[in-house]
Amino acid sequence: MIEVKSISKSFKTVSALSELTFSARDGEITGLLGPNGAGKTTCLRIIYGLLRADSGQALIESVDANRYPLQARSNLGIFPDKFGLYERLTVREQVRYFGELHGLQAEQLEHSVDNVIERLDIASLADRKSAGFSQGQRMKVALAQALVHNPKHLILDEPSRGLDVMSTRILRDILREQRAAGTCILFSSHVMQEVAALCDRVVVMAAGKVAAEGTPDELCQLTGEAALEDAFVKIIGSDEGIAA
């Protein structure tokens, strides 16, 4: 369970988030939907403790991410906004590295690494160095890094960006599997189809605030529109910055 409680954050004079409140439940996929610059990445960075909120709390299993970032992160799998791979290491070495950083050791570590490589179906890549990987392959490696310690919460920042149809489908399958395993998944996106196809609940953000919250159907009913995209436009009040 991830709870965001009235978080405010401003950079110098620019207010990025103001009194943002929502929660993401276990065994559900929560989509954070908003146009570019709505504060999605800032919000996620506060949740994994990389940015400090000016006021308010982000709780992961009731652990305050700002006060105890290490403890909060040990329960998190993260797929950041920018993920760079270590191109001189093999996939297995990278995944093992992050497993070790999560405190996994010896047999447990090897087991977790083998397990995540199998789950993501990247055995054929495992002993190759990641230089020259395609975007889809890189996405899988980044996911493997995020999932190696079997986190109860998964945070993804626009995971489908740059992926082709096949890779996007694989990503969705993986997320659904995780959901079935009871993981709390929070992901940000500005791609409507993806949110509609995947999310149990949608939090629509605009200008650092929650503009609406509910299942995709509820949002459509709320606005009286048939398609989520139209509902979204109506909610945020403009059609600026929405990817088709």
Partner 1 sequence: MSAYKTIWKKEFKDALRDKRSVLAAMSYAFFGPMLMAVAFFFLISQLTDPSDVKISIDGKQYAPELIEHLRENGIVERDTDWPAEVTPIELSIPENWAEAIASATPIAVTLRADWSAQKQQSDIKRVEQALQAYSAQIANYRLILRGIDPRVIQPVQVAKQDMATRGSKAALIMGSVLVFILLSVFWSGMNVAIDISAGERERNSLEFLLSQPVSSQAIVIGKVLAASCFALFGAMLSLILIPIIFSFVPLHQIGMSVDFSLEMLLIMFLALVPLALLATSLQLFVSFRAKNFKEAQTYISFLLIIPMAASFGVEFARLKTPLLYYLPLTGQHQTFLSLIRGETVNWLGAGVSAVFTLVVAVLLTYLIGRMLKSEKTVFGL
Return the residues of window 126-145 that contact partner 1 according to CB under 8 A. Answer: 142, 145
Place of tokens 């990445």: 41
Residue from 100, 114, 218, 229 binding partner 1 (CB under 8 A): 100
* Contact range with partner 1 by CB under 8 A, out of 30-38, 95-103, 116-124, 178-186: 95-103
Please tell me whether residue 93 binds partner 1 under the rule CB under 8 A.
yes
41 vs 187: CA distance, rounded Å: 10
What 3 state SS string does 188-220 have? EECEHHHHHHHCCEEEEEECCEEEEEECHHHHH
Please tell me whether residue 51 binds partner 1 under the rule CB under 8 A.
yes
Q: How far is the CB of 87 from partner 1 (least distance, A)?
A: 8
* Contact range with partner 1 by CB under 8 A, out of 86-94, 120-128, 169-177, 230-238: 86-94
Place of tokens 């305050």: 64
Question: Nearer to partner 1 by C-beta: 100 or 200?
Answer: 100
Question: Nearer to partner 1 by C-beta: 11 or 215?
Answer: 11
Question: Nearer to partner 1 by C-beta: 102 or 119?
Answer: 102
Residue from 8, 59, 97, 210 binding partner 1 (CB under 8 A): 97
Please tell me whether residue 86 binds partner 1 under the rule CB under 8 A.
yes
Please tell me whether residue 64 binds partner 1 under the rule CB under 8 A.
no
Question: Nearer to partner 1 by C-beta: 83 or 214?
Answer: 83
Q: How far is the CB of 108 from partner 1 (least distance, A)?
A: 12
Residue from 73, 140, 152, 179 binding partner 1 (CB under 8 A): 73
Burial class (CB in 10 A: 0-12, 13-18, 19+), 2: buried
14 vs 154: CA distance, rounded Å: 29
Please tell me whether residue 78 binds partner 1 under the rule CB under 8 A.
yes
Residue from 101, 123, 227, 243 binding partner 1 (CB under 8 A): 101
